[in-house]
Amino acid sequence: MKLSGIFGDMGTKISMFGYFLRRLLIAIPTLFVIITLAFFMMRAAPGSPFDIERPMPPKIKERIEAAYHLDRPIYVQYGYYLKDLARGDLGPSMKYKDKSVADLIREGLPISATIGGSAMLLSLVLGGFLGSFAAIRQNTGADYAVMGFSTTGISIPPFVTGPVLALVFGVYLHWLPTGGLDRGHMTFTHLLLPVVTLALPQIAIISRLTRASMIEVLRSNFIRTAHAKGLSERTVLFRHAMRAAVLPLVSYAGPATAALLTGTLVVEQIFALPGIGRQFVIGALQRDYTVVMGVVILYAALIIMFNLLADLVYGFLDPKVRYQ
Amino acid sequence: MLLKNIKSLTITAVSILALAACSGPDAPDNPDAKILHRGNSAEPLTLDPHLASGTWENNIIGDMFIGLFTENAAGEPIPGMAKSWTTSEDGLTWEFELIDTIWSDGVPVTAHDFVFALRRLLSPDTQSQYAALVYPIKNAALVHNEEATPDALGVTALGPKTLRIDLEYPAPYFPGLLTHYTTFPVPAHVVKEFGARWIQPENIQVNGPYKLVQWRTNDFVQVERNPGFYDNENVCLDEIYYYAIADANTAERQVREGRLDVNNDFPGRKMEFLHKELPGYVRVHPFLGTTYFSFNTNVKPFDDRRVREALSMALDRDHITQNVIKSGYISAYSLVPPGIGNYPQGAIVHWAKLSFEERRARAKELLMEAGFGPDNPLQFEYTHRSTGDNPVAAPGVQSDWNAIAPWVNVTIAQIETQILYANLRAGDFSIGDGGWIADYNDASNFLYLMETRAGPQNYANYSNPVYDQLMDAVNREMDMVERADMMKRAEQMMLDDMPIIPMWYLVNKALVNPKVTGWVDNIVHTHRSRYLCFAE
């Protein structure tokens, strides 16, 4: 019995590891396709990083373009890019003359990660709580209030919520700063509004998902059984219902990560935060090819990774899932 | 068990994030330090004076480096590294005696640093995008294009403290040009040691009032007082933070919050509101900039002067600037903005005094003379920049043109600013909007745009040999009164030909906390931090 238990466990682990490995292997061609598409789309956009208002002498322009291989056919440029990438070199920024893409990502990533991570956590905790609360109090005033809030949260985009929150809490009430960091340092007060702005739509979506799934679970037979066994309401809710109700949330974690990552592009711009989202927007406008590529690769890798993690966690939570 | 795990994981994550988010500044600031927080529009792409090209970069670079000339609080050229100078009779040779001063590491600033700097600027390897500005220096263009060796450049160190600069032609605006960052000295010993990384905070040495401490991309640049600066005793502020806040609305909110002491812009349409909300903060002053539309004179019907004049006359600039844009811009009837150096003004389109109704009627007549009418409608596309006030103004422009007659049909297209400039240079447009902000305070910096040799910068492809000859003579004329008159004649000639539509003169806008002293509004919009202080 004990032995089979161990083998069973190991079997699960092996199949899980195999699954993980397979997914990682699939991620490589996926990333490759993304890199290729992003590379050619970026180059297809009109203009170049060296289009400035005052024209340069042709020889100087030639020299600069040669330094970045921009004088070569696009497929050769692509080859150079892949070669550098294979060595882990994201290249120099084409606009920030004194910085490399890695420098820029190193500076911006901690800020974006903190905002994104905090927003994710806030969405899960608050969305989960509100959703469960609404499910338990189904069709009451509280339920309608939560769902009303949720619909509003989904309908109003961050580029509206952000400036309104900044105006109310920053300009009128003077409670919180309206943007930027505290001389380069992330403080609670400086990040609160950006995190809330970024999290609001996710809180709304997660609370709706949780509510729907919780209502379904609460009506299921195993909950009825738990009640029949005389378990307390709290135990039924937290030990049995919650575990099952949380499953749709886990499968939503992948899309949520994507939404938060793209959300940082907007939120960092509104709150003047020096994260990589802002880098990306500025890079795209300035045709800073290497910076845009660097951020695209990072974002793509993160989204692939979080989707994979979500699938693995799903398996942990739901014994019915098998990694094949 | 699982719930327990999730709970403990959550607690850990929250704690980590809270800790990360709550880490305060590394060390408490000196409570007596005078620190200025300046909003600085955009992220500097570089702090190397030879690679820079933006006014926001100039704001920082000019606080760290001083050239032969620098600016006073009013933005006028005053001697910087130059103690005294002499000019030869023909105006072609300038000899400078340098002041006794040091780089921030104690190494003396010498004439050799200037020679090194200008050769570096013009070396194609430096890849400077702005080096053409020093082409008045003898052989500069040849050196830049690798048609002459660097030692042929007309910049010579006659001794450690004596510098000679030979010019291609007498440039009476030369002191003004020498306040431009491209002409600044760089510490030769540091650049040679660290190469491209000489500008990093750990390597940089400066000869100006402030030294770089840290530079966080898209956040801020911090500089602190340089005790070795020759005029340090008259510098009030100890530290300056320049914030890269591109969105004028965000910057305005931060000024209202008190987080920024100064911002070098504000949303023009909010001027009235800001006057009320922030009394004493709003600063508006004429600027060395003009927005003008260019006709592509290579294509029909814009090769016809009558069509160009009609379309220029039919635009109600007063309505567009005062009721549509509302940023305080001034209607323009010439290319060169008022108040510019070495130019008393006077050139103006000949119909400027007519009422708008008269102009519109005359425009219709002109177009009919040119063969347009109900049977031959005039159709064209007007392209405008996607930034600034241009998208707001565009529908007003379109409606003015369409109102000339039912047979005038204009479409508008918004194009990303840098792409539009590339199109203008390539001649890929019909009528395109653009603008020019002078590099130095002299009218010739505007008028050269319409010279044939300006090439791609002459978007309209205007080519008038008489104009070119006159501008060539302007560059050689030593008598400032005669020179100004020649420029006026040239501008009038160009305006009569109407290859461009002058639209409005720009103004510079700033929000300055009234407790900041030493801020003098000026036409070049240059405000060096060394002159600023806080009221007691």
Q: What is the pLDDT of residues B82-108, one digit of tens each?
A: 999 999 988 899 999 999 999 999 999
Residue type present at position B67: G
Phi and psi torsions of B287, nearest 5°: -130, 160
Show residues of chain B in contact with A118, CB under 8 Å: 17, 21
| ipTM confidence score | 0.73
Q: Which of B22, B214, B253 sits opposite A171 (nearest CB)?
A: B253
Q: Check B53 against A54: CB less than 8 A apart.
A: yes
Contact A123, A206 (CB under 8 A): yes
Q: How many CA atoms lie within 13 A of A252 on its CB side?
A: 23
For residue B78, the cross-strand partners are B70
Residues 6+ apart with CB under 8 A from B255: B39, B261, B262, B263, B266, B278, B281, B511, B513
C-beta separation of B454 from B462 below 8 A: no
Q: Do A85 and A289 meet the contact criterion of CB atoms below 8 Å apart?
A: no
What one-letter code names the amino acid at B55? T
pLDDT at position A1, please? Answer: 39
pLDDT of residue B250: 82
The residue among A52, A159, A174, A183 with the most chain B CBs within 10 A of its CB, best to mutate, is A183
Contact residues on chain A for B130, CB-CB shorter than 8 A: 54
Instruction: Show the tokens assigned to B293.
Output: 């539309």
What is the rounded CA–CA span in Å between residue A264 and residue A235? 38
For residues A34-43, average pLDDT: 91
Q: Which residue has the tokens 């064209």?
A: B380
Contacts of B97 (CB under 8 A, 6+ apart): B82, B83, B84, B85, B161, B162
Nearest to B257 among A104, A171, A269 (CB): A171
Are A104 and B456 an interchain contact pair (Cβ–Cβ within 8 Å)? no
pLDDT tens per residue across span B433-481: 998 988 888 899 899 999 998 888 899 999 999 999 999 999 888 888 9
Contact B496, B481 (CB under 8 A): no
Between chains, do B422 and A47 touch, taking CB under 8 Å as contact? yes
Measured N-to-C along each axis, helices A101-136 and A141-155 cross at an angle, to the nearest 10 degrees, of: 160
Contact check, Cβ <8 Å, A279/B218: yes
- Closest-CA residue of B relative to A98 is B46
- Please tell me the distance in Å from A96's CA to the nearest CA on chain B: 4
Residue A54's pLDDT is 67
- Where b means 16+ CB within 10 Å and e means fewer, B40-73 reads bbebbbbbbbbbbbbbbbbbbbbbbbbbbbbbeb
pLDDT at B17: 45
Residues of A within 8 A of B246 (CB-CB) are: 282
A-chain residues near B200 (CB < 8 A): 98
CA distance A142 to A133: 8
- Cβ of A52 and B418 within 8 Å? yes
- Taking residues A135-147, what's their average pLDDT? 88
Residue A25 confidence (pLDDT): 86
Question: Inter-chain contact B220–A183, Cβ cutoff 8 Å?
Answer: yes
The rounded distance, in Å, linking the Cα atoms of A86 and A297 is 13
Contacts of residue A50 in chain B, CB cutoff 8 Å?
A: 129
How distant is the Cα of B360 from the closest Cα of chain A, in angstroms?
A: 33
Question: Quick one: pLDDT at residue B10?
Answer: 44
Return the bridge partners of B330, or none: B505
Using the CB atoms, write b or e for A11-31: b if 16+ within 10 Å: eeeeeeeebeeebeeebeeee
Binned at pLDDT 50, 70 and 90, residue A10 comes out as low
Q: Give dist(CA B191, CA B196) in Å, integer.
A: 7
- Cβ of A163 within 8 Å of Cβ of B249? The answer is yes
Distance in Å, alpha carbon of B457 to nearest chain A alpha carbon: 7
b/e sequence B209-227, b meaning 16+ C-beta within 10 Å: bbbbeebbbbbbbbbbbbe
Using a CB-CB cut-off of 8 Å, the residues of chain A touching B254 are 177-180, 272
B170: preceding bond cis by omega (within 30 degrees): no
Residue of A nearest to B42 (CA): A282
- Answer with the residue of higher pLDDT: B209 or A124: B209
B211 contacts: CB under 8 Å, gap ≥ 6 = B64, B104, B204, B205, B223, B224, B225, B226
C-beta atoms of A107 and B217 within 8 A: yes
High-pLDDT (> 70) share of chain A, %: 93
The token pair that represents B35 in the structure block:
């620190």
Residues of B in contact with A55 (CB under 8 A): 425, 455-457
- Check CB contact under 8 Å for B217 and A180: no
Closest C-alpha among A272, A281, A263 to residue A177: A272
Grouping H, G, I as helix, E, B as strand and the rest as coil, residue B501 is strand
Contacts of B416 in chain A (CB under 8 A): 46-47, 285
Task: Classify B84 as helix, strand or coil.
Answer: strand
Q: For residues A279 and A40, what is the distance between their CA atoms, to the nearest angstrom? A: 20
Tell if the CB–CB gap between A177 and B130 is shorter than 8 Å. Answer: no
Report the run of H or E that residue B162 belongs to, with start and end: strand B162-166
- To the nearest whole angstrom, how far is the Cα of A35 from the nearest Cα of chain B? 24
Nearest by CB to B217, which of A46, A108, A178? A108
Q: Which of B22, B216, B246 sits opposite A188 (nearest CB)?
A: B22
Nearest-CB residue to A98 (from B48, B247, B416): B48
Domains of chain B (ranges, CATH numbers)? 1-65+208-281+513-536 (3.40.190.10), 66-188 (3.90.76.10), 286-508 (3.10.105.10)
Pair A207, A131: CB distance under 8 Å: yes
Mind telling me how many Å the CA of B450 is from chain A's nearest CA? 14
Instruction: Using CA coordinates, name the residue in chain B closest to A116.
Output: B17
pLDDT at A7 over 60: no
Give the pLDDT mean for A235-255.
82
Q: Tell me how close the Cα of A136 comes to any Cα of chain B, in angstroms.
A: 19
The arithmetic mean of pLDDT across residues A158-171, rounded, is 89
- Nearest-angstrom CA–CA distance, A132 and A211: 5
The tokens describing B29, both together, are: 């600031």
Q: Would you call B219 and A104 a contact, using CB atoms and an 8 Å cutoff?
A: no
| Closest listed residue to residue B109, CA positions, set B119, B118, B117, B100 | B100
The C-alpha atoms of residue B208 and residue B156 are separated, in whole angstroms, by 23
Q: How far is B225 from chain A (nearest CA, A)?
A: 18
Low-confidence ranges of chain B (pLDDT < 50): 1-28
| pLDDT score of A323 | 57
Are residues A188 and B243, on separate chains, in Cβ contact within 8 Å? Answer: no
Q: Give dist(CA A25, CA A5) in Å, integer.
A: 30
Q: Tell me how many residue pairs between chain A and chain B have CB atoms under 8 A apart.
A: 168
| Cβ-Cβ contacts under 8 Å, B197 against chain A | 98
